[in-house]
Structure 1
């Protein structure tokens, strides 16, 4: 066996410490945890020889080593405006990742959940009632994550493989339980803070200012200003040469690893 370090070891040695520092700075109050960047995930997948085919990938195979990829993600839905958002995504042929909230959302809009899956988007988990997972008991963490898993599977026939912790707050305990439930954690690189404004122009501006290659955009399809901002965001990012992908497509040929925390 060669004494040279593997590509995985090199990638983790260089990229993971930087990501961990970034996470600590970017998420107020969040415990420091190691994160994996899309670039590292792709390198690990390439070394392992993984095909990394994204289930219901939306736009098909995309090589994000060559393409200027970005992932559009939506939290805390679905809601009344989600069908309008889906119309826009379908028209523009843009796949997205939806981190769905259980209470008053998944249970209230099962037809929309089904449509999200049927139209090729990635259906993911955003807990049942949106607590800070770092502030609750192990049993509560497990319940908050497992209940949406079961609800989504009942509607779509598939259990999610991704989850986003509310407010991005995670730690070793959350990671351990996520791993037990087969869930990888996904954070973000840019947010429009659409929870604090209904100004669609401002939401678009903030999103475009933060957009970068391998980025993960965080928006919410439950606030009045967000869905109207999406057509402009898509138009401008396409003009800048971005290719829209789901989060699993962004990581391919790597695949989401349960328990890991992914962040650009």
Structure 2
């Protein structure tokens, strides 16, 4: 369940005169570890300025060379009014209904999946998520708070999902979302070692606290702005019924709904980096 992000000194990458500028990691006077953070627009600007990155909105490849792409349409979020749609903690018994809705609406999303009781119990849904052009992503094996466990255990929490997804689909996620959005320098290093970029969010319906679909819809629409990242959960009863109304209104407002990798393109997600609008 999402809670406020762990407090830490963070730095933001910005594009200066079209050159890449990487923020340095430092330790604050208070002793809090700092980690590198960038917004989607900054990542796109840096990639465009350096001439690097993909030429379309389909994402990139992971470090092992087996393509992990999200989304079936080309989109340039430097021009389009984009918002990324993400779902945490599935797949579940609700996922097929959600996928039916997304297919009907011709929308692709990023699925940050849990291993225990989810990937392990719903491999057919994992295959369908991949087959229908959605983005496969990592939300740890058992939802342990990564900042509260030893680095070796954090690595196991993430690597078990990597292995399980690859076994089912032949693809390895390049994105992860830390439980409750809690990360620090150590988690960033573990993520980097595993080839995983970290993705936080800007919109939450707090659907883990309510089954009121109308309220979930209202909260999402109130918070959504260009280049935002929407966090929902396909495991809760009120969430999936809210999705059609959310999509209809976002489209009415001129939004193009994309995966996280499409939102970042032409930048490619950088392992260890924290992406947050």
Fold-level match, TM-score > 0.5? yes
Matched, 1:152 2:165: yes
CA contact (8 A) 1:78 1:113 kept: yes
Q: Aligned partners of 2:50 and 2:269: how far apart in 1?
A: 13
Match of 1:188 in 2: 201
Query: 2:116 aligned to 96, 100, 103, which one?
Result: 103
Q: What are the within-5 Å matches in structure 2 for residues 34-113 of structure 1?
A: 34-52=36-54, 53-54=58-59, 55-113=68-126
Query: How many Å apart are 1:50 and its aligned residue?
Result: 2.4
Q: CA deviation digits over 1:192-228, x for unaligned, max 9?
A: 0000000000000000000000000000000000000
What stretches of structure 1 move > 3 A for 4+ residues in a row?
30-34
CA contact (8 A) 1:59 1:93 kept: no
Q: Aligned partners of 2:90 and 2:249: how far apart in 1?
A: 24
Query: How many Å apart are 1:6 and its aligned residue?
Result: 4.1
CA contact (8 A) 1:31 1:169 kept: no
Match of 1:141 in 2: 154
CA contact (8 A) 1:192 1:207 kept: yes
Match of 1:218 in 2: 231
Partner SS state of residue 134, structure 1: helix
Q: Aligned partners of 1:212 and 1:102: how far apart in 2?
A: 31
Query: How many Å apart are 1:44 and its aligned residue?
Result: 1.5
CA contact (8 A) 2:20 2:49 kept: no
Q: What are the within-5 Å matches in structure 2 for residues 229-244 of structure 1?
A: 229-244=242-257
Match of 1:7 in 2: 18
Structure whose residues are more often helix by fraction: 1
Long gaps (5+) in structure 1: 17-29
Long gaps (5+) in structure 2: 1-15, 25-31, 60-67
Query: 1:201 aligned to 196, 209, 214, which one?
Result: 214
Note closer, same or farther for the CA distance 1:245–1:256 as it changes in structure 2 (3 Å cut).
same
Matched, 1:250 2:236: no
Query: How many Å apart are 1:31 and its aligned residue?
Result: 6.6
TM-score, normalization by structure 2: 0.85
CA contact (8 A) 1:31 1:170 kept: no
Structure 1 window deviating more from structure 2 (41-50 vs 246-255): it is: 41-50
Q: Aligned partners of 1:188 and 1:31: how far apart in 2?
A: 21
Q: What are the within-5 Å matches in structure 2 for residues 114-129 of structure 1?
A: 114-129=127-142
Partner SS state of residue 266, structure 2: coil
Matched, 1:175 2:188: yes
Match of 1:24 in 2: none
Q: Aligned partners of 2:171 and 2:70: how far apart in 1?
A: 14
Work out the number of aligned pairs and report it: 245
CA contact (8 A) 2:35 2:188 kept: no
